[in-house]
Each structure stands twice: as C-alpha cells, then as structure tokens.
Amino acid sequence: MLPKLSFSKLSVPGKGVAVVFVNDKLSAGAVTSDLLGGAEGLLARAAETAGFSGKARTTLDLIAPAGLGLDRLIVIGLGAEELSETDWMALGGVAMGAIGSAKAATVCLEAPGGDIAAEMAAAFAMGMKLRGYSFDRYKSRKDEDAPTEPARVEIGTSDAKGAKKAWAEADGVSDGVVLARDLVNEPANVLTTLEFAKRAQALADLGVEVEVLDEKAMKKLKMNALLGVAQGSETPPRLVVMRWNGGKKDAQPVAFVGKGVVFDTGGISIKPAASMEDMKGDMGGAAAVTGLMHALAARKAKVNVVGVIGLVENMPDGKAQRPGDIVTAMSGATIEVINTDAEGRLVLADALWYTQDRFKPAFMINLATLTGAVLVALGSQHAGVFSNDDALVGRLAEAGAATDEKVWRLPLSKEYDKLIDTPNADMKNTGGRMAGSITAAQFLQRFVNDVPWVHIDVAGTAMASPKTETSKGWASGYGVRLLDRLVREHYEG
Ligand code: BES
Ligand code: MN
Ligand code: ZN
C-alpha cells in the first residue's frame, strides 16, 4: 500500500518505529547519535551480534531496544561511498521494505557527513512510495501480514521546507509511475482498448487535453497498418492523443508515442502457450507515455508535449489479418505482413507518421515492448535504443544514468535496412531471425522523416521485471522517470 508521507524538522524520536542511518563505520548524524546516546553500547553490541556492518542498503532491526522508548529501531546502512539521488531512492525503498506492516514510522533522514539536500530527501520519499506499491486490487482475501491501511511516515530532515517543495514535484512523477504500473498490471479483460482510452481521458482532470480517434477517424486517415492488426479483435482500436501545453504558446512541442497492444496473442501467427499471459503487458510503451503525461501535468512542466498511443488487441479470428496480407500504411508505403506477431511495428508505423505529420514536433521518442530479441541482447538491465540523432540519444543516455532507467544504443544502417525489403511490397514486417531488434527499428525508421527520433525497445524493462528496492516486481513503470528527467533537464522554460 502506498504510504502517507510528510516532512518535518529533524528531531529525536521518542516512541514508535524509528528509521535511522549509519555508515560503514557505524557512525551516524547528530540527531541519530543523540538518540543512540540514550542506549550506550546498544548499536555496537547489536551490530556485532547480527553481523551488521553498515554496508549500503542493509538493515538491522531492533525490537523494543533497551534504554530507548521506541518500539522498534530500524538501522539502515549507507556504506562508504557518496550517495546519488538514485541511491537515496533505493534507500527509501529499503526503508519501506523494513517498515513492513507497521502503521506509522519516523525517519531520521541524515547522514554522518552532513545535511541531506532537499532533492535527495524527495528521492528518498519517492523510493518509499514506489516500494509501497502493490497490485492487489483483485485479491479478495489479503495476505495476513499485508498492511490494512497506509503507513503514516514522517520524514525528519534538516531542510524540511525545501524537501516539501521538491516532493510536491517528485510526488507527481511518482503518481505517473504508479499509473504506468497499474496499466501494465491490469489484465486484458479489464484493460481493453476502450478502458485504456478512458483512463487516458481521466488525465483531463490535470489539465491534459485528450482526444480519442475511433476506427472511423483512423480509416479516414488511412491508418491501414494499425487497423490491420486490430481487425481480429472484438474490441475496436483507438488512437489517443494527449496534449499538455505548459510551455510558451505556439512553441514547438516534443512528442512521445507508445505501442499499446492491450493483448498480443500473436494473431494468426499465434504464440506458444507458455508465458502468453505476460502479453497483457504489451502496452508497456503506451503506459509509459500515459504515466509521463500524468507526471508532466501534475508537476506543471513548462513545456508543450504531445503523447500519442496506438491501442489495439492482436487476436486470431476469422476476420484477423493473415500472413502474406499486404497493407498500405498512412504514409502510403505498402507492407507485406509476413508474421502477424510482428504487430507492434505496424501500429507504430501509423502512430509515428501521424504524430510527425500533424504536430511537427521538435523530437519524437517512441516506446514499445517491441521484440523478444532485446531481452536476449540486454536482459532487464537496459532498454535498447535506436536513433537518427546523436545529441538526442546522448541526452537520453544521461537521463538514464541519472534515474537508473538505463538505455543502451544499438546500431541502425543501410545493410540492416535491406533485410526488410521484399519483392511483393515496399517492405515486409519481419527481417528474419538475426538482429531482430534492429530490423524492427529499421522498420520504424521507414516511417520517420527528418525529425530527431529515438525508439526505445522496452520489452525487457517495462514488464515481467525483477524485484528491486523500489519495486515488488513485474510492472516497473519504466520510462516515466527517464523521460520526465530528459524533459526537465533540456526542454523546459
Ligand atoms: N510483443 C512482442 C515482443 C515481446 C516479447 C515483448 C517478449 C515482451 C516480451 C512482439 O509483438 C513480438 O511478438 N515480436 C516478435 C517479432 C517477430 C515475430 C519478428 C518477437 O520478438 O518474437
Ligand atoms: Mn507480437
Ligand atoms: Zn507485441
């Protein structure tokens, strides 16, 4: 459950559950040292007994510590190194994990080296909040040790005022991450194309302008690549356009485009049964774009942004698209559909073309759970990125390092592009077994004109993700913090 967080001035906690920090020499900040001074020798003795050495992100949990009025004292290791924003975020996650089902806790957010900057405090709070997230709305019987109400957590820090201010923005970003996680976690019988569009429309409450294009509108625009994917499903496709106008009037917008396949059976080229249930997450790109729009609107980012998501369901059916079918995309290019399971690129072909054509963005970044091959190449540690613009992808890589939502660039070239040529049409939608992520990216690039563009393949990072300090696993919300950072660092004001 998401905790209720507040900031206050640092002071010695007298009762309840307290969280404090020590480095690898078991030294603490002033207030914590004051607290521990009330129980001479306690920390050294407990640490010795438990084998706790203050290593980064480790914990020592003392119940009813003798000499103190506290019910519990949770000591968290800071290690020896200097701590970055993402370190503090991870520590927030560790703290939330350690608090467990406690109803309330006080955190003494300080380190032996001196005061903690407001941004670090906000990062810590974000880590706590994101670790608290769990997707349990369909559990009618809750786990016995699960909290029944949100934990009230008071974070004591030297610059409480600054922390509150930083948190007001960071909290909006965390809500964007939470939204993206919810969308990815929702099963496809609930999160249909229509339900997804509805949830995007709810962003209107934050001042986002939302437009929903239905089948008829898309037919008129000749989006036959996208429509071909959708034609086997009982639920119709939607293209959702979200606009946040926080920048100067008439300033060129930046654009984000997401693959929103609410379920990917593979279509007639049907997938094997094993793990097919994971394909409810094949809208992870669209979820990140929606979460990002939430984040930017919530923190009133000073920038004009367009978010476009293509929502379809890929099903086998009497009306479904067949292997060998040839469709004409909105751009006018013809595509031979060799494999109906390579559907994401068909959706994006029209969504990308539409976005650059209508909005003339300063840049266009798309996110998609596009290929299994990117998992083979990079696992869940980096998203694969492809770009026609060194400067833009360089900025993205920096944002990735700063947020720990890392990206790794893979190549594009004429030789790879050739692999999707076919005698029967302008291109085919698969390029064979080799270099699968790259040929998918080459396909997308054929629908990008001279606008700076990045494709982020998030098949390994947005869904089926491992547990981390700040996530209980599966839906990570990957991309929201990454792109929020990119926008904040370079495109606002
Ligand atoms: N949605 C899948 C990619 C995927 C695989 C995402 C695993 C997350 C985890 C995509 O639509 C797909 O099926 N891609 C095929 C392409 C192939 C048919 C050329 C793939 O990767 O096997
Ligand atoms: Mn597929
Ligand atoms: Zn897919």
pLDDT score at 80:
96
- Contact residues for 41 (Cβ-Cβ < 8 A; gap 6+): none
Residue 349 CA, ligand 3 centroid: distance in Å? 14
- What's the length of the chain? 493
Radius of gyration of the chain (CA): 24
- The values of phi and psi at residue 35, to 5°, are -60, -50
Indicate whether residue 5 lines ligand 1 (CB < 6 A). Answer: no
Atom 3 in ligand 1: which residue has the minimum CA distance?
A: 371
For residue range 158-213, list pLDDT tens digits in order: 999 999 999 999 999 999 999 999 999 999 999 999 999 999 999 999 999 999 99
pLDDT score at 290:
99
Residue 222 CA, ligand 2 centroid: distance in Å? 22
- Contact residues for 121 (Cβ-Cβ < 8 A; gap 6+): 7, 88, 109, 155, 157, 159, 162, 163, 166, 167
User: Could you give the CA distance from residue 422 to residue 326 in angstroms, rounded to a whole number?
Assistant: 11
Catalytic pick from 280, 345, 472, 481? 345
How far are the Cα atoms of 103, 111, 122, 189 from residue 30, in angstroms, in the given order?
26, 8, 21, 54
Residue of 279, 291, 286 whose CA lies nearest to 310: 286
Indicate whether residue 338 lines ligand 1 (CB < 6 A). Answer: no
pLDDT score at 218:
99
- The values of phi and psi at residue 13, to 5°, are -75, 135
How far are the Cα atoms of 214, 217, 259, 339, 352 from residue 226, in angstroms, in the given order?
12, 12, 10, 14, 11
pLDDT score at 113:
86
Could you read off the pLDDT tens digit of each residue along the chain, which spans 493 residues?
A: 999 999 999 999 999 999 999 999 999 999 999 999 999 999 999 999 999 999 999 999 999 999 999 999 999 999 999 999 999 999 999 999 999 999 999 999 999 988 899 999 999 999 999 999 999 999 998 777 777 899 999 999 999 999 999 999 999 999 999 999 999 999 999 999 999 999 999 999 999 999 999 999 999 999 999 999 999 999 999 999 999 999 999 999 999 999 999 999 999 999 999 999 999 999 999 999 999 999 999 999 999 999 999 999 999 999 999 999 999 999 999 999 999 999 999 999 999 999 999 999 999 999 999 999 999 999 999 999 999 999 999 999 999 999 999 999 999 999 999 999 999 999 999 999 999 999 999 999 999 999 999 999 999 999 999 999 999 999 999 999 999 999 999 999 8
Active site residue 271: yes
In the DSSP assignment, the letter for residue 252 is: P
Residue 478 CA, ligand 1 centroid: distance in Å? 18
How far are the Cα atoms of 339, 387, 439, 461 from residue 434, in angstroms, in the given order?
15, 20, 9, 21
* The residue to which tokens 């001035």 are assigned: 9
In a 3-state reduction of DSSP, which class is residue 379?
coil
Residue 366 CA, ligand 2 centroid: distance in Å? 17
* The residue to which tokens 């203050």 are assigned: 54
Residues 172 and 125 sit within 8 Å (Cβ to Cβ) = no
pLDDT score at 147:
78
User: Could you give the CA distance from residue 84 to residue 119 in angstroms, rounded to a whole number?
Assistant: 10
Helix axis angle, 284-298 to 160-185, nearest 10°: 150
In a 3-state reduction of DSSP, which class is residue 425?
strand
User: Could you give the CA distance from residue 151 to residue 168 in angstroms, rounded to a whole number?
Assistant: 19
User: Could you give the CA distance from residue 466 to residue 469 in angstroms, rounded to a whole number?
Assistant: 10
Structure tokens at 110: 């300080």
How far are the Cα atoms of 282, 320, 386, 440 from residue 435, in angstroms, in the given order?
20, 28, 13, 9
Q: How many CB atoms are closer than 10 A to CB 371?
A: 23
Indicate whether residue 372 lines ligand 1 (CB < 6 A). Answer: yes
Could you tell me where the DSSP H helices lie in 362-471?
373-378, 390-403, 414-418, 436-445
Active site residue 345: yes
Residues 455 and 386 sit within 8 Å (Cβ to Cβ) = yes
Residue 226 CA, ligand 2 centroid: distance in Å? 13
Q: In what order do the strands lie in the sheet with 383-387?
A: 209-213, 238-245, 304-314, 254-264, 364-368, 453-457, 383-387, 407-409
pLDDT score at 284:
99
pLDDT score at 451:
98
Residue 207 Rama label (left phi>0; alpha psi -120 to 50; beta): left
Residues 327 and 228 sit within 8 Å (Cβ to Cβ) = yes
Q: Which of 314, 371, 458, 474 to mutate to test the pocket of ligand 1 (most atoms within 8 A of CB)?
A: 371
pLDDT score at 368:
99
- Contact residues for 43 (Cβ-Cβ < 8 A; gap 6+): 22, 26, 36, 75
Q: Which of 271, 321, 340, 341 to mutate to test the pocket of ligand 1 (most atoms within 8 A of CB)?
A: 341
Residues 371 and 460 sit within 8 Å (Cβ to Cβ) = no
User: Could you give the CA distance from residue 459 to residue 463 in angstroms, rounded to a whole number?
Assistant: 7
Residues 346 and 226 sit within 8 Å (Cβ to Cβ) = yes
Residues 87 and 52 sit within 8 Å (Cβ to Cβ) = no
For residue range 334-352, list pLDDT tens digits in order: 999 999 999 999 999 999 9
Indicate whether residue 459 lines ligand 1 (CB < 6 A). Answer: yes
One-letter amino acid for residue 259 of the chain: K
